[in-house]
Amino acid sequence: MYAPIALFVYNRLELTKQTITQLLTNTLAYETDLYIFSDGGKDDVSWAEVKAVREYLHELEKESAERGLFKSVTITERPCNYYLERNIIEGINEVFTKHDTIIVLEDDIFVSEFFLDYMNTSFNIYKDEKKVMHVSGFSNLDLINEHPLLVYDNPYSDKINETYFTPHMSAWGWGTWRDRWQEHFKYFTSEEEALKGLSPELQDKMQYGGNFPCLKTLKNNPIPWDICWEIAIYKADGLCLTPGHTTTRNIGLHNGTHFKSYDQLQYYNYDRMPLERLVKVSKRTPAPKADIEALFAEAIKDWGIVYTPLGKVVRFLFKGTKATGRVSMSAGSLLKVHLKRFSVWFAHFSKKAGKILIKLTGKAGVIIVKIAKIIWKLLCRGFKELMRLMPYVVGFLQNVFRLIVQGIQKLINKIMTKM
């Protein structure tokens, strides 16, 4: 019996079609149960897109029943927008009421035609090895081609292995066992709750010495489900089986829930096509290798983003606007402190000066002092109002800069399309 697939979709019709079309190239597809969880829309526009996706899914369901594309197709339509976290967690729990293993895909994961073979083989080999908590289809590293000596135990052995172990989990095509998930997974609703029991040493290990600041996502609302699973694996001293070359590719990096990118400004060093053959898996003792962990720490720096020459220029300018904003705010705070001190001094000085002026000039002095006080109050109020508006001014300038960057991106894309 093969592991079922839980596919989570939202409003991206074309990506969903590509994901399912590629999934059907797997020889085990017709023997695999497919559970599809369709999230609801947030507004009229997204609901229209969701309905288009669901029409396609029901066509797939009908075609599969007629032609045997999948063993079965079960569609769950959310009545409202669950958001990614709730949709995935509840979907996984539902599948685990009927199955012992699960393969999880989102609507932007392009898989190798050997992906299902690799996942099911891995499940069978490590089903009794509780330390192995997660099977990744994606890998940031290309060990098979770039560092073969790190992934092959013995190239001349009949039991060639092209996988490795790491405590880091990837969510771009993955799977797990019911017992591991139900025993260890917990969804956190606050950063404080998530970090409880996570020592500073373990936090540093998770973040690869600062190269992979994944714990920052605990400040998100809602907290991403995958950081919760990552924490669970680390707390349990678990490991993730990972292929020496990726068997999946994220084709939705441009407009995913947690990822966005601009082609002409940046690309990801791990964005490569899946291996075009079956990854060889044989049982080995679950343990990470320091050399591989070091390679990952380097590869994931800056989230694996590599900036193009244009991207470097834009990034420099954008950092400049942020720095200018910080300087403006700091200068404003400093001026506010000095203004307060000066006001106290000026009030004391003007009181004495006013008395002297009145004695010398009489009624004219009284009028001059009153006018000076009014002018001073107006200046103070104007400055305070400027300080109050400063964050909005800086934010406005940053948004204008983002719009300019997006405009440049669209223009470049049009030029590239015509070439």
Q: What's 26's DSSP letter? A: S
Average pLDDT over residues 388-404: 72
Q: Is the pLDDT of residue 200 over 80?
A: yes
- Number of domains present in the structure of the chain: 2
Cβ count near 81 (within 10 Å): 18
The last residue of a domain, from among 283, 307, 331: 307
Co-location of 276 and 344 in the same domain: no
Same domain for 21 and 134, yes or no, is: yes
Q: Are 219 and 182 in contact, with CB atoms under 8 Å apart? A: no
Residue 78 above 80 pLDDT? yes
Domain-terminating residue out of 278, 307, 336 = 307
| pLDDT confidence of residue 319 | 60
State whether 19 and 81 are in the same domain.
Answer: yes
Q: pTM for the full model?
A: 0.75
Q: Are residues 295 and 318 in the same domain?
A: no
Q: Is the pLDDT of residue 122 over 70?
A: yes
- Which range, of 116-125, 291-300, 353-362, averages the lowest pLDDT? 353-362
Of 67-76, 117-126, 348-357, the poorest mean pLDDT is in 348-357
- The answer on 347 and 294 residing in a single domain is no
Same domain, 303 and 265: yes
Say what the pLDDT of residue 259 is: 44
Q: How far apart are CA 39 and CA 16, in angstroms?
A: 13
Q: Are 315 and 303 contained in the same domain?
A: no
Q: 225 lies in which domain range?
A: 5-307
Clarify whether residues 205 and 335 are in a common domain.
Answer: no
Which stretch of 106-120, 238-252, 268-282 has the lowest confidence by average pLDDT?
A: 268-282
What percentage of residues in the chain have a pLDDT greater than 70?
A: 78
Let me know whether 386 and 347 are in one domain.
Answer: yes
Query: Of the ranges 107-116, 234-243, 341-350, which one carries the lowest mean pLDDT score?
Result: 341-350
Q: Which of 242, 272, 307 lies at the terminal end of a domain, its last residue?
A: 307
Spatial contact of 18 and 135, defined as CB atoms under 8 Å apart:
no
Name the average pLDDT for the chain. 86
pLDDT band at residue 412 using 50, 70 and 90 as cut-offs: low
Three-state secondary structure call for residue 164: strand
**How many residues in the chain?**
419
pLDDT in tens, 307-326: 777 767 766 665 655 555 55
> How much is the average pLDDT of 191-210?
95
315 and 232 share a domain? no
Percent of the chain with pLDDT over 90: 63
Measured CA to CA, the distance from residue 262 to residue 254 in angstroms comes to 7
Contact present, 137 and 275 (Cβ < 8 Å): no
CATH number at residue 280: 3.90.550.10
User: Do 250 and 152 have their domain in common?
Assistant: yes
Q: Is residue 215 domain-shared with residue 239, that is, in the same domain? A: yes
| pLDDT of amino acid 261 | 47
